[in-house]
Amino acid sequence: MKRSFLHTTLLYLVVGLLTGSLLIRIFLPPYYYVKHVVPERDFSAHELYRAVTAVPSIASDTLAGKVILLQGVVGAMTKDYILIGQDNETIRCTFRKTIYDRKPDLRIGEEIVLKGVCLGQYMNQAVVSQCVVLNMKSPAVAGGDSSKQ
């Protein structure tokens, strides 16, 4: 059975559109340009933790999927994420994983400012993904008096 020219053209068009959308999704994932997006709000680690954990349902409506600016101290690190904050008030920050990005060299106790997409609360942590470090400050000299400024 021979297909008409119209059927063949439509088939090629659909396959081309599907392939194109797949390639765009692979090479330009969502939030690819987080670094260039103006954040909707800025938070300290303590403020974000309180905002997300106070009433999680309201926080997920107002903050989830929003690009935010976050300032805090690196509390812990793994190969997949870092924890910003102290004690039990921590924010889990994951970095973009593309061939163009690499995880910045951070140290525990270092003060950083980063931009990322707030995802809300997971277990007892606030979660920010697709993070990009904007500014780093070295930790205070060990043994120094931090109360003097």
Distance CA 16, CA 25 (A): 14
Domain with 73 in it:
35-137
- Tell me the CA distances in angstroms from 91 to 8, 38, 44, 146, one per residue in order: 53, 21, 10, 24
Mark whether 24 and 63 lie in a shared domain. Answer: no
Distance CA 42, CA 67 (A): 9
User: Residue 49 sits in a domain of what CATH number?
Assistant: 2.40.50.140
Per-residue pLDDT of the chain in tens (149 residues, 90 and over written 9): 567 888 888 889 999 999 888 777 667 655 557 777 888 888 898 888 888 888 777 777 888 888 899 999 999 888 888 888 887 888 999 887 766 666 678 888 889 999 988 888 888 888 898 888 887 776 554 444 444 43
Mark whether 62 and 127 lie in a shared domain. Answer: yes
What pLDDT does 121 receive? 83
Tell me the backbone φ, ψ of residue 45, rounded to 5 degrees: -60, -40
Q: Answer for the pair 120, 95: CB distance below 8 angstroms, yes or no.
A: no
pTM to 2 decimals?
0.67
In a domain, 43, yes or no: yes
In a domain, 147, yes or no: no
Mark whether 63 and 101 lie in a shared domain. Answer: yes
Mark whether 17 and 50 lie in a shared domain. Answer: no
In a domain, 144, yes or no: no
If one counts the domains in the chain, the total is 2
Mark whether 60 and 83 lie in a shared domain. Answer: yes
What pLDDT does 6 receive? 85
Residue with tokens 């277990």: 123
